[in-house]
Copies of this chain bind each other. A is one copy, B any other.
């Protein structure tokens, strides 16, 4: 009785527009496009793009001038690559099937607890790029407002784990560490990986790039060795050297998490549920059995009090137990930056100075790395405290340096970090005592100076908490690669003199 002829195919010629959308897929069509008119598309309609056997969901924007012909569809760079498109190819744009998992997100928004199957459906859709930014924001926000539930968080962790790739190792013990962050510099990871793997253990470390900070571990490591390894290359490095320090974003160990982090950064909203699922899904995917959790505590660090650290680590330990993963929390000092450099190359200089036992190597970075390495070695068994002595010896006799260089070689080759061409030093306006560091303001100055995009940009600190300085003594130096960035950072520093607060003697 009804017409059963298939809807006519809606072919459009594809054109590469050379736009970097950096996330959400977008397509462009002319407002007079006959397909758009017959389908009833409007600007911001969600559409499904079909090219060959590939398809993607995207948000449609109309163009109203000569940018596109009416029978063309314009693709940004990421979608162009994803669809393996070529200029002039004919592709189809259709109404998408409704995203069934969004009804689960709505259930979460209205306060329901989600079970494994519904979370798996959501996370699979997120990992394959089917959510718009607005939908991702709703998902992130829905979890942020609700107290952590161990069972639900374990289910989210499992869903994130299953949406990505996973490594496994022949070793009974696979060690890892995670730092909750918020403290500039604090670049202990390359040192710890070098020490622990030099001691003969396996430590396949993936690290993040900066999200809101002047440098992530991956950014600092990258000025010394390639970090954009894929999963197979990472596996080869670990099989050869026992460990690695690679960027987590290229190995797809938790692809949904990589997507969610972008929205969390835009909103500056941290859901404890997602923080726990994010950390644990990545550690489990990397094949870890024992994880040391470093929680720097300080008024301007991410974790602001010991009580907050205790609550967060209790949640992490409880959810990890569901996966038979051992998590050992350790609270560290989060009142001031660790090391003297803030920014990719400046932090790498600190790491190398400690490994090379340079006279001016930052003592606090060295001590903290030995301390945390020792605790990780203790996780492998043996009398408590023996690990620290072992870590210290490995660093002192050069084994850590040799191992680090070997890891860098295995990742693609070591290179010496560069030095910024422009520097400006801020000096003490009067004799004073260094009373407090505002980690967030210091991070902002380093970012305005160009970090992490400009590798050698950032800040180097000349003082530590409690030190006394005479009038005219250097407090910190801003490093930049361009005059504009130097000016911008200095103007902000001048307007925020309490980045490093000086008290009268």
Interface residues of A (CB under 8 A from B): 1-8, 16-23, 28, 31, 37-40, 42-44, 61-67, 76-77, 102, 106, 109-111, 132-138, 140-142, 144-146, 262-263, 266-269, 424, 426-427, 429, 447-448, 450, 453-454, 482, 484-485, 487-488, 490-491, 493-494
Contact = CB atoms under 8 A, between A and B. Distances in A.
A1, A17, A137, most chain B CB atoms within 10 A:
A137
Nearest to A144: B109
A67 B138 contact: no
Contact of A22 (B38, B43, B77): B43
Given A1-B426, A40-B453, A141-B141, 4 more contacts: A3-B424, A5-B487, A21-B61, A134-B136
23 contacts: A1-B429, A3-B487, A3-B490, A6-B491, A7-B487, A8-B487, A17-B67, A18-B65, A18-B67, A19-B63, A19-B64, A20-B63, A21-B61, A38-B488, A40-B453, A40-B485, A67-B67, A109-B141, A109-B145, A134-B136, A138-B141, A141-B142, A142-B145
Contacts of A448: 40
A72 to B, nearest CB: 13
Given A7-B488, A137-B138, A482-B37, A20 B64 contact: yes
| 9 cross-chain pairs, A with B, having the tightest CB-CB distances, nearest first | A18-B65, A38-B484, A22-B43, A2-B494, A137-B137, A141-B141, A20-B62, A134-B137, A20-B43
Contacts of A61: 19-22, 76
Nearest to A76: B61
A110 to B, nearest CB: 6
Given A19-B61, A65-B16, A267 B138 contact: yes
A448 B3 CA distance: 15
A450 B62 CA distance: 18
Contacts of A485: 38-40
A491 B2 contact: yes
A44 B2 CA distance: 47
A266 B3 CA distance: 31
B1 A427 contact: yes
A39 B484 CA distance: 7
A494 B40 CA distance: 19
A269 B141 contact: no
Contacts of A16: 65
A42 B111 contact: no
B145 A137 contact: no
Given A102-B268, A145-B146, A426-B1, A263 B134 contact: yes
A491 B3 contact: yes
A8 B484 contact: yes
Contact of A488 (B2, B39, B269, B493): B39
Nearest to A21: B61
B2 A447 contact: no
Contacts of A77: 64
A491 B7 contact: yes
A4 B488 CA distance: 10
A38 B144 contact: no
Nearest to A494: B2
A21, A141, A146, A266, most chain B CB atoms within 10 A:
A141
Nearest to A67: B18
